[in-house]
Amino acid sequence: MKIKTAIITSGHPPLDERIFYKFGKSLSDAGYAVEIICSTQEINEMKDGISIAGFNGSLLGKKEKILRLYDKILSFNPSVIICCEPLPIFSAYKFKTDNSKCKIILDITEWYPENLATKIKGIKKYFYYLFYYLFNFAAVSLSDSLIIGEITKKMRYNFMAPLKGKTIIGYYPVLSYFNYSSPPFNGTDLTFCYAGLINFQRGIITIYEVAKKIKEKYPKLNITLKLVGRFEHVEEEIYFDALAKDNKLITIDKVGWTSYNGISEYLQNVDICFDLRVRNFIYNNSLPIKIFEYMACGKPFIFSDIKPIREEFGDNICGFLVDPSNQNEVISSIEKYIIEKKLLLTHSTNARKLIENGRNWEEESKKLINLVNSLAKNKN
């Protein structure tokens, strides 16, 4: 009989790249019976051998959501539970009180409590920060082991839970989903791209303005700005669409949201990828997932210069790291690619090599399988 592993999320869609395409499929391929349980979507289906069960908990309070998730866990009866946020830990622990052999893992990919508290205005955010910190501390205490998405976030948990096991399992792409395609820049047509969740803080307005200035400086170039993703805020999309409608200089290609295993198709005709996020606490201390996907497709990048990227790649930067508030610096980086196509192609091939040589999910998933195997085999 297959050992059952549940992956629980209260904040992500069930087909999230890390939850389904990485954790779910890797564990299923390793011989586990896998069920994804979510409170973000009403769903009950099988996909690629993985069971998905969920409900729409958007109007439910925390207590009711915890109980509903617990019911789903109880029905599946897993031996190992991976929780993708702190809240499902309490559902998992309630299950564990009557099933003491069950092991609970907390997967940490975001900054708690900053990620929640910064969305609150005024002095109240400090009270919410304390509440969320204690909530997170309790979740960590109730788990048996921690998965941490990047080394930058590990220090906090070394302090919170010095004796608890911690495994760094990164955001590297599933190599088989990302096909290499060299930048097709021919001296006339130049395509920029931003992929993922779109908002002003991630620099979409700056990218748009820079693209227009490049066109003004090089009028013979045909500039396209491709957006593969969705806007986080409706009002920001309305504002951007108004700008795009009045624009006569560049082409805007809004592709919309696409599945994780279909992203590379939309990057084939792209020359340079961007992420010019502001350097606040969260963004300045978080490794962008998209950088690895761009590199897997062989796309040179221009990103905000933040410490996690430099720590990850050292001198092997297959693109340019810039001050996102300095448009002249961004423009200068683009010009280097325009003037020296060889550099564009060199960064492209080197980027793909870095992903092939270890920074891919096929290699990274081995750490996940080893962790789950060790917990499953050493149940008390």
- For residues 214 and 301, state if they share a domain: yes
pLDDT in tens, 281-327: 999 999 999 999 999 999 999 999 999 999 999 989 999 999 999 99
Whether the per-residue pLDDT at 63 is higher than 80: the answer is: yes
- For residues 301 and 159, state if they share a domain: no
- For residues 153 and 285, state if they share a domain: no
- For residues 140 and 260, state if they share a domain: no
- For residues 280 and 347, state if they share a domain: yes
- For residues 270 and 165, state if they share a domain: no
Tally of domains within the chain: 2
**CB-hemisphere CA count at 13 Å for 243?**
16
CATH code of the domain in which 106 resides: 3.40.50.2000
- For residues 142 and 75, state if they share a domain: yes
Whether the per-residue pLDDT at 380 is higher than 70: the answer is: no
- For residues 188 and 54, state if they share a domain: no
Of 11, 63, 54, give the one whose Cα is nearest residue 36.
Answer: 54
- For residues 220 and 106, state if they share a domain: no
Query: What residue numbers bound the domain in which 188 lies?
Result: 176-356
pLDDT computed for residue 263 by the predictor? 93
pLDDT in tens, 83-140: 999 999 999 999 999 988 999 999 999 999 988 888 888 888 888 899 999 999 999 9
Query: How does residue 379 score in pLDDT terms, banded at 50, 70 and 90?
Result: low
Report if pTM > 0.85.
Answer: yes
What is the overall mean pLDDT for the chain? 95
pLDDT in tens, 211-256: 999 999 999 999 999 999 999 999 999 999 999 988 989 999 999 9
57 neighbors 65 (Cβ within 8 angstroms) = yes
Question: Token match 């795009």: residue?
Answer: 244
- For residues 352 and 366, state if they share a domain: no
pLDDT computed for residue 128 by the predictor? 87
- For residues 224 and 373, state if they share a domain: no
- For residues 51 and 186, state if they share a domain: no
The Cα–Cα gap between 341 and 236 comes to 34
